[in-house]
Amino acid sequence: MSISSTSSDNKNTTPPVDLQVKNLDDPKIRDVAEPIINPKKRSMPFGEQKEIPPKKRKISSQNPPQNEKEEIISILDLWVSLGNENEQRAQAKQEIIDLLFPTDFFSKILGISKSLLNLSGLNLKAVPDIFGKQTVIDKVFSIDFSKNKLSELPKSFGNLKNLKTLDISSNQLEEVPKEIERLDQIQELILYKNQLIELSENIGNLTQLKKINLANNKLESLPNEITRLILLEDLYLSNNQLQMIPEKIGSLANLKNIYLSYNELEILPKSIEELHQLIKFHLAYNLLSKLPKNIGNLRRLEEFNLRGNPELSALPVSIFNLKTSCVVNVENTKLSKETLDDLRKTVSKECPSPNFLT
């Protein structure tokens, strides 16, 4: 039996399937057709479909929103354009951009970045008002504005809640900017060599301070609120015009170093005897005529500088309670070697004696 080949007239003439669904009102048709028409809803029962929202871009200080970056750069550009030729604002702008938007390998890949904004010695009369931006708040932990010509700070500066250290020494501040008084996490504040005449009582709000340098200003007095800085370890007040210090200075129980040389102090408060952690106590070139009776309670003292107090003619016997390694400098006072020898005779020969420089 022979088999003949199929002719062209016998080709498969099955009509094509019409995929157009014309009646979605029929529940049976609808349940089958909907996943084909809208694949995104395939796994969801009909009637419970929810539009899938786009993934949100995670925003962090390492990945600042583009619009904030543009805002900061815009502020910097305007600030640079308003500067004078003596100010190095363009360099300052670059320092800020490098800190906030780093492009180096370690910052981009490993997430390692600087936290110090260093604008020292750029002859700046003003700094840009960018400190309210979240990127700045998140990234700036230390600031060095020293050796400029600043007389004020922008209002947004008080937003830097993460700031730990601020050096604004060698500028032209006549008062501590109110914006600084809002930095309640700051631990180190350097205001050396400005034109400060007085301190606001709000300085007492900076309760995390461990070091404050107010030397080389024009301070005549200190607010009592400074004694609220109970974590303070280093207090620099040399080269001012202080005539007295707060009576409750003894409240600063963690003080290790006090520098009060080159002032106009005539007397020390009795509570100074309570500073048992004190290691260095500098009072050179004042107008002291006597010391508190129990000054010898400062048993950890290693440096006690009384040089250049021309009216100081006597010392309390308790001074011999200071440890033998303590150096007591009484040069250029009325205390002679003979005076000290006579004083030494009033105490036991077994009593240790500090080292006196006369």
pLDDT at 335: 86
The model's pLDDT over 263-274, given as tens digits with 9 standing for 90+, comes to 999 999 999 999
Do 199 and 246 touch, CB atoms closer than 8 A? no
Percentage of the chain beyond pLDDT 70 is 76
pLDDT at 167: 98
| Cα–Cα distance list, 114 to 73, 183, 250 (Å) | 19, 20, 38
The model's pLDDT over 192-250, given as tens digits with 9 standing for 90+, comes to 999 999 999 999 999 999 999 999 999 999 999 999 999 999 999 999 999 999 999 99
The model's pLDDT over 43-93, given as tens digits with 9 standing for 90+, comes to 455 445 555 555 544 444 445 557 999 999 999 999 999 999 999 999 999
Do 194 and 214 touch, CB atoms closer than 8 A? no
Question: Would you put residue 308 in left (φ > 0), alpha (ψ -120 to 50) or beta?
Answer: left
The model's pLDDT over 126-147, given as tens digits with 9 standing for 90+, comes to 999 999 999 999 999 999 999 9
Which is more confident, 345 or 169?
A: 169
**DSSP 8-state symbol, 63:** B
pLDDT at 275: 96
Mean pLDDT of 324-337: 88
Nearest to 280 by CA among 253, 300, 252, 254: 300
| C-alpha span between 265 and 268 (Å, rounded) | 7
Mean pLDDT of 255-284: 97
Delineate the domains of the chain, giving CATH numbers in brackets. Answer: 102-357 (3.80.10.10)
- AA identity, residue 40: K
Does position 151 have pLDDT exceeding 50, yes or no? yes
Contacts (Cβ under 8 Å, ≥6 apart) of 151: 125, 171, 172, 173, 174
| C-alpha span between 220 and 128 (Å, rounded) | 32
Residue 342 sits at the vertex; the CA angle it makes with 340 and 343, to the nearest 5 degrees, is 60
